[in-house]
Chains A and B, each alone.
Chain A
């Protein structure tokens, strides 16, 4: 998993869901948290990671991209 969301840190501001260029997130209206639904479409721009106000997103490269 390249993009991991720490749901404890996440405040549900929707920043990542709003700005992701590739639309990889969906929004869970019950939990009010984002979910990485289209992981294979992530282009690793890091915008979600750098704009999250709570630094709740971690981006780490998996083995196949190491």
Chain B
């Protein structure tokens, strides 16, 4: 388990923000405001089918915080009310 903690990982988003800040000589906050939409465009935020499938996979593994009151609401939806 110890080995992989020694590898130094670089966050791609952070590298982009740093580079933009240095190129334009602006604050990290301003650079992030520019880079964020560019980076978000590469993420499948709007692919709801795919995103929901990932969440469902997780729930199938038992990792979800489903409450009793949620269950009632979901049950009603599924019963078509």
Q: Enumerate chain A interface residues (CB-CB to B < 8 A).
A: 49-55
Closest to A49 in B: B28
Distance A50 CA – B28 CA, assembled complex (angstroms): 5
* Cβ-based interface call for B51 (8 A): no
Chain B interface category by residue count? under 10
* Cβ-based interface call for B21 (8 A): yes
Q: How many A-B residue pairs have CB under 8 A?
A: 16
* Cβ-based interface call for B67 (8 A): no
Determine if B21 and A51 form an interchain contact, defined as CB atoms under 8 angstroms apart: no
The 0/1 profile, CB within 8 Å of A marked 1, for residues 33-72 of chain B is: 0000000000000000000000000000000000000000
Tell me the dominant secondary structure on chain B's binding face: helix
Distance A54 CA – B21 CA, assembled complex (angstroms): 9
In the assembled complex, the CB of B35 is this many whole angstroms from the nearest CB of chain A, namely 13
Determine if A50 and B25 form an interchain contact, defined as CB atoms under 8 angstroms apart: no
Contacts of B32 in A (CB 8 A): 50
Contacts of B29 in A (CB 8 A): 50-51
* Cβ-based interface call for B75 (8 A): no
Distance A55 CA – B19 CA, assembled complex (angstroms): 12
| Top 6 A-B residue pairs of the complex, sorted by shortest distance between their CB atoms | A50-B29, A50-B28, A53-B27, A51-B29, A51-B27, A52-B27
In the assembled complex, the CB of A48 is this many whole angstroms from the nearest CB of chain B, namely 10
